[in-house]
Amino acid sequence: MENVDLYNILCPYKYDDFLHDHPLISYNKDDFIFLPDDRAQEIYLIADGKVKIGYYDDQGNEFVKAYLHRGELLGELSYLGQTKHKDFAQCTQNGTQICKMSAEKARKLARDYVPFAIEIHRRIADNVQRLERKLEILFFKDARRRLLELLKDLFAMYPPDDQCPWVEHRLTQQEMASLIGSSRKTVSLLLNELEREDLIELNPGKFKAHPAFFKAAALTPTS
């Protein structure tokens, strides 16, 4: 756990106390961590695995907001005073491990330990920005453009470096389709099209951006 930012900012005695009082909880694929209208009184950190965040409309249709991975928070709005969950959180991998803390204890820790307060507020702001960005992407009517915008965001979220030129996003094609409001078949066809155009190079759960990608996505590569 030492490479997870949220724990890096906790001093050792607080981390030991936290893990002793709140052991990791394992979930199987399709298990729900919480559902809409469940009481919101805890924040959760993903220690391993993947979690889908979404909601259901009045007709029961599912809409996916985000897929969260190791080191990311969910249920964090309870920290700000939300009393009921509006979304659901569902595990998409067997062996997903979750560590949780009561919102009340998190607020006390934030009062006692400023770096924790700074980090949790940064995480909440990042999640809000991610949701706003997803809404922007859905405004594009063309599925190709929506996919390019998603790849652009993934490049920014998981930037490659000299040691590893791949963007390791760990999303399946079905998950990418859910995020852009399209079908898996369409995403598969479009990804293959982008690869034939030499914009990207594909591998399961990751891609490598070629120079032409940055022009197509109007994205400046990182130095």
* Residue 175 and residue 106 share a domain: no
- CB contact at 8 A, 205 and 193: no
Strands 200-203, 206-209: pairing kind: antiparallel
How would you write the pLDDT of the chain (223 residues) with one tens digit per residue? 333 355 544 334 455 565 566 566 789 999 999 999 999 999 988 888 999 999 998 888 899 989 998 888 899 999 999 999 999 999 999 999 888 888 998 898 888 888 788 888 888 898 888 888 888 888 887 899 999 999 998 998 888 887 888 998 889 999 999 999 899 999 999 999 999 999 999 998 899 999 888 888 775 444 3
- Measured in degrees and rounded to the nearest 5, phi and psi for residue 208 equal -115, 125
* Residue 158 and residue 81 share a domain: no
Provide the number of structural domains found in the chain. Answer: 2
* Residue 113 and residue 19 share a domain: yes
* Residue 36 and residue 125 share a domain: yes
Single residue among 120, 137, 154 that ends a domain in this structure = 137
Which residue range is the domain that position 105 belongs to? 5-137
Torsion of CA 72, 75, 80, 84, to 10 degrees: 170
CATH value at residue 201: 1.10.10.10
- CB contact at 8 A, 77 and 42: no
Task: List the 51-56 sheet strands across, edge first.
Answer: 32-34, 88-91, 51-56, 62-68
Domain assignment present for 223: no
Domain assignment present for 165: yes
Q: Token pair for residue 94? A: 């067997």
* Residue 73 and residue 146 share a domain: no
* Residue 111 and residue 204 share a domain: no
CA separation for the pair 167, 151 (Å, rounded): 9
pTM, entire model: 0.78
* Residue 130 and residue 116 share a domain: yes
CATH value at residue 36: 2.60.120.10
* Residue 169 and residue 86 share a domain: no
Domain assignment present for 31: yes
Domain assignment present for 221: no
